[in-house]
Structure 1
């Protein structure tokens, strides 16, 4: 099992315990048909998801604003440890191909899940290249947005 120690100067961390089994949290994170149901905090939506669940595989989503504007997000899966850890990045495209991001900043996400009683301890860490990227992501509402998306994930997982 891979663990990551967050750097408080560069990383943002959302950690919560949720009342669904780790296997269901994993399924919600790794099934494109489920990802589109919860991944983007409402009133935004995720209109599509392509996920090749292997290192070097693509993790692409398209998010839609309430006004209908679409925002493609192209990324690469770095690590897959079933029912435990998913790591992906926007700094690379499929096949570990470096890419230039037009707006925003690249970051790497580490999603770690582990059993906690009858539920799941969920830790999502956003890793940034520098303090200014961390600050920009925090100001965009990382904790609130990823927290709202986690609530939506739990709703979806409870229906499985």
Structure 2
């Protein structure tokens, strides 16, 4: 018997078109501008935007607090992550699995992220749904990181 993973949902409104948010979410230059939480940088290594295609990127801790946290937790300062796209519906839906293979002492596993862009008067509503991770601490890290990333996206679209 297989059970469905529990989900966490994050929602945010932006004063931008779905097309603009889609561009920032699905191009290397867009992803590199906002994807990382504060104190980290992202470099896109590979991007093949289609169902079955992959995004591979390297995230590096650059802020002093983040470097200290990573070192204190026994985690590398840079990690390379791969996401595999499962849904690509331009300007409206994007879904991808992430391989969590960077957690010391935990057998690697995949978790799903789903993103929906809904046009609203004066902007777009983003709903991000993520599978919960293997424990509450890592789920909270995931949700906190994604909330920070969405805040960074908001700062970026506020400039455009």
TM interval, short-chain normalised:
0.7 to 0.9
Structure number with bigger Rg: 2
How far the C-alpha of 1:22 sits from its partner, in A, is 1.1
Partner residue in 2 for 1:115: 119
Q: Is the 8 A contact 2:46 2:56 kept in 1?
A: yes
User: Quick check: 2:11–2:128 contact (8 Å CA) kept in 1?
Assistant: yes
The alignment covers a number of residue pairs equal to 141
Contact 1:75–1:88 under 8 Å retained in 2: yes
Give 5+ residue unaligned stretches, structure 2. 68-75
Specify which structure has the higher proportion of strand: 2
- Rounded to whole Å, the distance in 2 between the matches of 1:83 and 1:127 is 22
TM-score with structure 2 length normalisation?
0.77
Contact residue 42 and residue 57 of structure 2 kept, 8 A: yes
Cα distance in 1 for residues equivalent to 2:61 and 2:134: 22
Match of 2:60 in 1: 64
- For residues 7-43 of structure 1, give each alpha carbon's deviation from its aligned partner in whole angstroms, at most 9, with x where no partner exists: 7x71111012122211111110011111011001111
Residues 150 and 139 of structure 1: CA distance in aligned 2, closer, same or farther (over 3 Å)? closer
TM-score computed with the length of structure 1 as normaliser: 0.77
In 2, the alpha carbon distance for the partners of 1:22 and 1:71 equals: 30
* SS in structure 2 of the partner of residue 154 of structure 1: helix
Q: CA deviation at 1:154?
A: 2.5
Match of 1:33 in 2: 29
| 2:83 maps to which of 60, 69, 75 | 75
The CA RMSD over aligned residues, in Å, is: 2.3
